[in-house]
Structure 1
Amino acid sequence: MATAPQPQLPLFYNDLMPLNSRDHATWKSRSMDSAEWLKGQHAIPLTVDEFVQSQRDFPIVFSSGDNPLPLALMGLNEGVNTFVDDKGKINEPVYLPAYVRRYPFMLAKLTQDGEDLSLCFDPTSGSVGEFDEGNALFDGEGKASEATQNILQFCEHFESAGQRTKVFIDELKKHELLMDGEISISQQENPEKPFVYRGFQMINQEKLQDVRGDVLREWNKNGMIALIYAHIMSLDLMRTIFARQVSQGTAPTPSEPAA
């Protein structure tokens, strides 16, 4: 149900091109009227900086495997995003994860052994190119425009949040707090055949109760305990997302596996 993005290219990205003033001196970025690339994406990577805002709209879970990632569930089934319509439009107020707002830009290494990150973009996105309208990426002297500087700053903040997220995950793993998740959702018309969702990880609340007091005090000071409970409280939204799927006709039938 909640697998991590593949390592070759990040989720959403079809290609990556370094942004530079030589090749893209006259290029512009423009806003997108729709998010076609978000259709059918049910699990979106999340940083810990976003847990408090995200838990109001989405269940927050962790991907399965040895290197879990926090994920915001915009749908419970593969290929289902309950917040994006067939035209790629989001027609209601909802928090958009930074991973979504970052696209089509990101910071990436240009060489496998390199340490420096360069601002890159997905040239297939349709939002960066030689357009008549939009925000110029470079000024007349080949320097990064204010728009590009803002994009770079946003991507840098995202990378920093990613490091904080790794620290959080490492702490959960250190105390063995993650366990395989399972949720059963029944419908009134067929209560004997609940839909069972698996394939994700969640915090083991029984083990959480056994964490030493000095560790909990430290987590309270550094804000980690608030992140843990934001995740736990958000799980109640699983049923809300399922209800959205039912109303939209995208819920599995009783004969289909839920996950």
Structure 2
Amino acid sequence: MASVAPSLPLFYNDLMPLNTRDHANWRARGADKASWLAGVHAVPLTVEEFPQAGRHFPIIFASGDNPVPLALMGLNEGVNVFVDADGTVTQGVYLPAYARRYPFMLAKLQPDTDELSLCFDPSCGLIGDFTDGEPLFDGDQPSDATKAALAFCEQFEQAGQRTQAFLDEIRKHDLLMEGEVSIQPNNGGEPFVYRGFQMINQEKLRDMRGDVLRGWAQSGLLPLLYAHIFSLELISQIFGRQMEQGKAPALQPIA
């Protein structure tokens, strides 16, 4: 029952492969709160989520050589304006698939193979040798709950591959630029300036060749770019929510 990954992604404190030998009688409890999201200000997104997520959050790209798309749920480290400290999520807000798959994920058990296995975070408090919850196995076969978790994780991995193809395309055309946002508080004073993220360079997008834009329109990539661009208008709303909640931002990067 050892962990399988020395370097763990966001939310995960440990990873353990799910198997009948160790977990034959274990169950999974449903979660009415998302405690793992509390205090997390930026959550990875897949491109398929841009249209829906962009109605709720600004969509930005992480800085550096691997510009992962992120849903911005707060402007500062440790601040999530949509999730309370106990994990209560604002009603009606969209939850990124990255957050919804927790505590499960697919991971390599052997570094020299591409095979992925269903794993879970044993520290989550949602999976264990409980008397309540959904069984993880039906005899020596995965239960319906486990099959559903596996299917969701597989869909997420496929969406991740499509997201990488999207990122490869925009990087090929050098469309990303360093972002900067300046917000003037209502009570005056110095503006809050946020950096440390990337965004689409709209000037380069306007100057893109017509045949490239037509191809992007036909493939569905162009609407995704504009979903990102339009979502940036929500940064001021996130700032306003932070002020209303008494979580005044500090002058530091947002990603």
TM range (shorter): over 0.9
Match of 1:148 in 2: 146
Matched to 1:159, the amino acid is E
Match of 1:56 in 2: 55
Question: Counterparts of 1:157 and 1:43 in 2: how far apart (Å)?
Answer: 21
SS at match of 1:106: strand
Question: Counterparts of 2:162 and 2:50 in 1: how far apart (Å)?
Answer: 12
Match of 1:136 in 2: 135
Matched to 1:176, the amino acid is D
Match of 2:31 in 1: 32
User: How far apart are 1:85 and its partner, in Å?
Assistant: 1.1
Q: Give runs of aligned pairs for residues 14-163 of structure 1, distance below 5 A.
A: 14-140=13-139, 142-163=140-161
Match of 1:243 in 2: 240
Q: Which runs of 4+ in 1 moved over 6 A?
A: none
Match of 1:3 in 2: none
Deviations 1:199-235 (A, max 9, x none): 0000000000111111100000010001000000000
Give RMSD over aligned pairs.
Answer: 1.1
SS at match of 2:107: strand
Matched to 2:163, the amino acid is T
Moved more, 101-110 or 87-96: 87-96
Question: Counterparts of 2:207 and 2:112 in 1: how far apart (Å)?
Answer: 42
Question: Counterparts of 1:242 and 1:71 in 2: how far apart (Å)?
Answer: 17
Question: Counterparts of 1:159 and 1:56 in 2: how far apart (Å)?
Answer: 24
Moved more, 61-70 or 88-97: 88-97
Question: Counterparts of 1:162 and 1:130 in 2: how far apart (Å)?
Answer: 32
Match of 1:177 in 2: 175
Does the 8 A contact of 2:39 with 2:85 survive in 1? no
Structure 2 length as normaliser, TM-score? 0.95
Moved more, 82-91 or 243-252: 82-91
Give unpaired runs (5+ residues) of structure 2: 1-5
Give unpaired runs (5+ residues) of structure 1: 1-6
Question: Counterparts of 1:94 and 1:20 in 2: how far apart (Å)?
Answer: 34
Matched to 2:205, the amino acid is L
Identical aligned residues as a percent: 63
